[in-house]
Structure 1
Amino acid sequence: MTRVLILTGDPIGERMAGPAIRVWNTAITLQGDGHEVRVVTTTRAERPDAPFELVAVSPGDDRAFRKHERWAEVVLFQGYGMSQFPSLRRSDRYLVADVYDPMHLEMLEQGRELPRATWDLRVAAARSTLNDQLRRVDFVVCASERQRLFYLGHLAALGRINPATYADDPDLRGLLDLMPFGLDPVDPAPGSALRGVVTGFDDGAKILIWGGGVYSWFDPLSLIRAVVKLSAERDDIRLFFLGTRHPGVDEMGIVRESFDLARELGVEGTKVVFNDTWVPYADRAGYLLDADAGVSTHHIHLETTFAFRTRILDYLWAGLPMVVTDGDGFADLVREEGLGVVVPGDDVTALAAAITEVLDPVRAAVYRKNVARVRERFTWPIVLEPLRAFVADPHHAVDYAGDRDAMGAGSGRGRRMSGPLYDARMTWHHLRHSGVRDVLRRVANRLGG
């Protein structure tokens, strides 16, 4: 048995987004393997039904976090944990970084609506944090072969690919391996959340589901236009956005743009319906099973290339054929395995044609059969196998000799992302670049969260 601490910045509660869902299922799987698991979140811990110990520790409260770090033998962490807790940076525990979300690339898109100086700061902070953890950890897990190639470049630049790490592990799987997002091995329980519940979503409706949040790197606008285009020819198409209010991320401008476009085109609340909250994780099956197809459309840019769209796993879980935009790893899977239709970016006409195809009963039956075959590869126990093997036999990286500062090319000082000095620095930054009103809003959000 190994004592495993899992650290996340996402809220763990009834309503969970991708990082928290990943932590929840990782913890359950490792505990099922006989390990003792504890989960620490730096936001909210609101699951009294958690079958493992679940606690919240404020970012920067290193005294509180250190008690958990000292308890653990293996520490698995996501996001900014290493920059928030100095004891994690210098820990002698076995450290595993989960970098399935390339946060510095995500921030290139997420920060577009911010003042330029703030955008620069956010991207630099994400990059510094990622580099610091890649220098220091014993094992790294990512979500796809595309990501693995990308992170191998990071590791090489940081000096982690060297004779010591290469000599007995020439494919470097002992340093960096795959751990995709997973799906529940148990089939979704029957239930209805849309048909006969949402006005206009009756038994005759053909329902498309957008199975996650609406963020600036996605392209919901082309999808809405495609639904309107099809609605001129047929009256049965419906599009449902499963969630627009992420439990841990501020609403982005694209949410309001999507509402406004649907209203302008006369389909908001009828043919296009937005759930303006966030569906509880345990309740999502009813929405998915009522749908005829899953959709995911995005713009083509760097974030797309290395993204791993976790909503696609829910489509696989529910047996849905899908329409996806080209450019990411899942588009390759959909195309190669015949799971649905892949369309070019920003192409309304192609989207409309693809929707028509996946809703055709004959084609849909073929896609569903292929989805049923492929989904078995992505159940949580299977995708977690590299981590399960590491936890069963934890070990330090071969280039760790008791000093994490000396690993790779030497890490220097990482960027602190918590504490009074960090708060003062960020307050001054936002005063200069966003004004007093923005600072007051951020203080109110901090006090209210």
Structure 2
Amino acid sequence: MKKLLIISSDVIASKMAGPGIRYWNLAIELSEHFQITLAVPNYHTFDLYEELKSYPIKLISSESKILRKEATDVDSILIQGDCLWKNRFLRKVNASVIVDLYDPFVLEHLELNEDDFRGNLIYNNMMNILIDQLKFGDYFICASEKQKDFWLGALTSLKRINVKEYQKSKSFEHLIGVVPFGIPSIPPIKNKNVLKGVYPGIELDDKVILWGGGIWEWFDPITLIKAMQIVNQKQSNIKLFFMGINHPNTDIKRMKIVDETIKLSDHLNLTNNCVFFNDWVEYNDRHNYLLEADLGINIHKNHIETRYSFRTRILDYIWTKLPIISNSGDFFADEINTKSIGIIIEDINEINLAEKIMDYPGKTFYEANFDDLINDYQWSNNIRDIVDFLNKDFNPKKTFFDFGRYRQGSYIFLRVIDLIINKVFKK
């Protein structure tokens, strides 16, 4: 059985965000096919040992000295984020390197740093990290066909799309695959009350709108808060609950938009009245909140990050059959619209958002439309491209003349050779 080292760039624990959730589930699903070693940055505070007992997964720290030793004894390594940048020795290992591009972080940094005087410097650093991945990866995965087109363009610009690769496969499926964020195969079962009649300020007969995840700069909670002021004046039994404002990874600083959202809610006298901000819901408890809610919300700004995003919180809404109100512009807007699992607002503002919230027909109106999506997005179905790649015979040797991978020093040499050849043929 082949060995796969999965290196998580984020905390995997009882409280975790998207990247941690993704690698925890990929490790679980792939452990049915391969020997899995899971490296986590929070090895010394890892608190999911009870759950880990159910799976043949080896847990290690993602410290460089540990990874250096482990990387010599595996067939493949799955990475994401700045892992390759921090651990440069991974470029030279004999294992194949699978690069996960599901999170287009360079686009996030455009939004994060547009007002920072160091914005260009930070963005250039992010681009260097990304280019490193695209040069040295052996196989790439992303979250959607839309993302795949974006990354094929990036790979083309670095000459990873070339005649040699085209001869292997004209559709390049040997180079890049689609592995969406997934849904558990087990249907959610509510095992306790967490909101209605339990959470202070939320009554038993209230209708609850759920903001299912953290508040990031590329979202638009400000328009939602303004809409809730309108809603509260007309229907005081509708409440908005934010599932998490404090990221479980303490290395990730709180974004400005979090405090701006709370400040506006306070100013409008909505906080703990009809708007509630929670610290962070535990991963294994999230289904109780989702099942108890009446409506899931996904409001974002219209920019490049939105176009290529893959909103992981939407998968939880789908898993629990929670209808969704969202605006257009991202991948899931089309899914919500075509599958009729919620409401898409084209030109969003606080007035039309408030109207859609108040006119919402209820969960039962959409409930029957979720089944196909639940099946399509199960983790067990989503891992097929990784499994197919790992099951192929792969020669990890990276040759000097592999034009998609040449080092900076090699570029000058190859350029000189190119000029000489052109000179000779012109003669």
> What is the TM-score when the length of structure 1 is the normalising length?
0.85
Whole-Å Cα distance in 2 between the matches of residues 228 and 186 of structure 1? Answer: 38
CA positional deviation for 1:256: 0.8
CA positional deviation for 1:403: 3.2
Partner of 1:200: helix, strand, or coil? Answer: coil
Q: Does 1:410 align with 2:411?
A: no
Alignment of 1:393-404 (within 5 A): 393=392, 395-396=394-395, 401-403=397-399
Letter of the aligned partner of 1:55 in structure 2? I
- Cα–Cα, structure 1 residues 300 and 143, in superposed 2: closer, same or farther, change >3 Å? same
CA contact (8 A) 1:344 1:350 kept: no
Whole-Å Cα distance in 1 between the matches of residues 101 and 4 of structure 2? Answer: 18
Alignment of 1:408-447 (within 5 A): 408=404, 410-412=406-408
Q: Which residue of structure 1 lines up, in the alignment, with residue 389 of structure 2?
A: 390
Q: Does 1:257 align with 2:260?
A: yes
Is there any run of 5+ residues in structure 1 with no aligned partner, and where? 414-449
Whole-Å Cα distance in 2 between the matches of residues 106 and 89 of structure 1? Answer: 25
Q: Which residue of structure 1 lines up, in the alignment, with residue 77 of structure 2?
A: 75
Whole-Å Cα distance in 1 between the matches of residues 241 and 164 of structure 2? Answer: 52
Partner of 1:194: helix, strand, or coil? Answer: coil
Alignment of 1:224-243 (within 5 A): 224-243=225-244
Runs of 4+ in 1 over 6 A off after TM superposition: none
CA contact (8 A) 2:326 2:344 kept: yes
Partner of 1:216: helix, strand, or coil? Answer: coil
Partner of 1:32: helix, strand, or coil? Answer: coil
CA positional deviation for 1:346: 4.7
Q: Does 1:11 align with 2:7?
A: no
Whole-Å Cα distance in 2 between the matches of residues 196 and 304 of structure 1? Answer: 36
Whole-Å Cα distance in 1 between the matches of residues 303 and 238 of structure 2? Answer: 29
Percent of aligned pairs with the same amino acid:
32
Choose the corresponding residue for 1:320, options 309, 319, 322: 322
CA contact (8 A) 2:398 2:405 kept: no
Partner of 1:54: helix, strand, or coil? Answer: strand
Q: Which residue of structure 1 lines up, in the alignment, with residue 334 of structure 2?
A: 332
Partner of 2:49: helix, strand, or coil? Answer: coil
Q: Which residue of structure 1 lines up, in the alignment, with residue 377 of structure 2?
A: 378
| Deviations, residues 14-48 of structure 1 (Å, cap 9, x unaligned) | 11110011100000011123x21111123555133
Q: Which residue of structure 1 lines up, in the alignment, with residue 284 of structure 2?
A: 282
CA contact (8 A) 1:165 1:172 kept: yes
Q: Which moved more, 1:212-221 or 1:199-208?
A: 199-208
Q: Which residue of structure 1 lines up, in the alignment, with residue 422 of structure 2?
A: none
Q: Which moved more, 1:158-167 or 1:403-412?
A: 403-412
Partner of 1:165: helix, strand, or coil? Answer: helix
| Deviations, residues 62-110 of structure 1 (Å, cap 9, x unaligned) | x332111112111011111111112111222111100100011111112
Q: Which residue of structure 2 lines up, in the alignment, with residue 102 of structure 1?
A: 104
| Deviations, residues 214-238 of structure 1 (Å, cap 9, x unaligned) | 0111100111111211122112110
Partner of 2:366: helix, strand, or coil? Answer: helix
Whole-Å Cα distance in 2 between the matches of residues 217 and 245 of structure 1? Answer: 16
CA contact (8 A) 1:14 1:280 kept: yes
RMSD: 1.9
Whole-Å Cα distance in 2 between the matches of residues 411 and 355 of structure 1? Answer: 54
Whole-Å Cα distance in 2 between the matches of residues 104 and 44 of structure 1? Answer: 27
Whole-Å Cα distance in 1 between the matches of residues 319 and 136 of structure 2? Answer: 36
Whole-Å Cα distance in 1 between the matches of residues 408 and 7 of structure 2? Answer: 23
CA contact (8 A) 2:195 2:289 kept: yes
Whole-Å Cα distance in 2 between the matches of residues 338 and 102 of structure 1? Answer: 28
Whole-Å Cα distance in 2 between the matches of residues 54 and 403 of structure 1? Answer: 32
CA contact (8 A) 1:226 1:352 kept: yes
CA contact (8 A) 2:196 2:205 kept: no
Whole-Å Cα distance in 2 between the matches of residues 390 and 53 of structure 1? Answer: 22
Partner of 1:232: helix, strand, or coil? Answer: helix
CA positional deviation for 1:401: 4.8
Is there any run of 5+ residues in structure 2 with no aligned partner, and where? 410-427
Whole-Å Cα distance in 2 between the matches of residues 299 and 101 of structure 1? Answer: 17
Whole-Å Cα distance in 2 between the matches of residues 340 and 261 of structure 1? Answer: 27
Q: Which moved more, 1:300-309 or 1:189-198?
A: 189-198
Q: Does 1:223 align with 2:224?
A: yes
Instruction: Please say which structure displays the higher CA radius of gyration.
Output: 2
CA positional deviation for 1:392: 2.8
Q: Does 1:166 align with 2:166?
A: yes
CA contact (8 A) 1:132 1:411 kept: no
| Deviations, residues 125-164 of structure 1 (Å, cap 9, x unaligned) | 2211111111222210000111111000001011011111
- Cα–Cα, structure 1 residues 26 and 268, in superposed 2: closer, same or farther, change >3 Å? same
Whole-Å Cα distance in 2 between the matches of residues 92 and 393 of structure 1? Answer: 15
Whole-Å Cα distance in 2 between the matches of residues 404 and 99 of structure 1? Answer: 25
- Cα–Cα, structure 1 residues 409 and 340, in superposed 2: closer, same or farther, change >3 Å? same
CA positional deviation for 1:345: 5.4
CA positional deviation for 1:384: 1.2
Whole-Å Cα distance in 2 between the matches of residues 205 and 185 of structure 1? Answer: 30
Q: Which residue of structure 1 lines up, in the alignment, with residue 58 of structure 2?
A: 53
Q: Which residue of structure 2 lines up, in the alignment, with residue 86 of structure 1?
A: 88
Alignment of 1:190-229 (within 5 A): 190=190, 191-229=192-230
- Cα–Cα, structure 1 residues 404 and 206, in superposed 2: closer, same or farther, change >3 Å? farther
Q: Which residue of structure 1 lines up, in the alignment, with residue 307 of structure 2?
A: 305
CA contact (8 A) 2:201 2:272 kept: no
Whole-Å Cα distance in 2 between the matches of residues 12 and 371 of structure 1? Answer: 28
- Cα–Cα, structure 1 residues 304 and 287, in superposed 2: closer, same or farther, change >3 Å? same
CA contact (8 A) 2:184 2:319 kept: yes
Q: Which moved more, 1:345-354 or 1:280-289?
A: 345-354
CA positional deviation for 1:350: 2.1
Partner of 1:295: helix, strand, or coil? Answer: strand
Whole-Å Cα distance in 1 between the matches of residues 184 and 66 of structure 2? Answer: 33
Q: Which moved more, 1:299-308 or 1:402-411?
A: 402-411
Q: Which residue of structure 1 lines up, in the alignment, with residue 126 of structure 2?
A: 126
Whole-Å Cα distance in 1 between the matches of residues 68 and 196 of structure 2? Answer: 49
CA contact (8 A) 2:208 2:240 kept: yes
Letter of the aligned partner of 1:268 in structure 2? T
Alignment of 1:334-349 (within 5 A): 334-344=336-346, 346-349=348-351
- Cα–Cα, structure 1 residues 366 and 123, in superposed 2: closer, same or farther, change >3 Å? same
Q: Which residue of structure 2 lines up, in the alignment, with residue 272 of structure 1?
A: 275
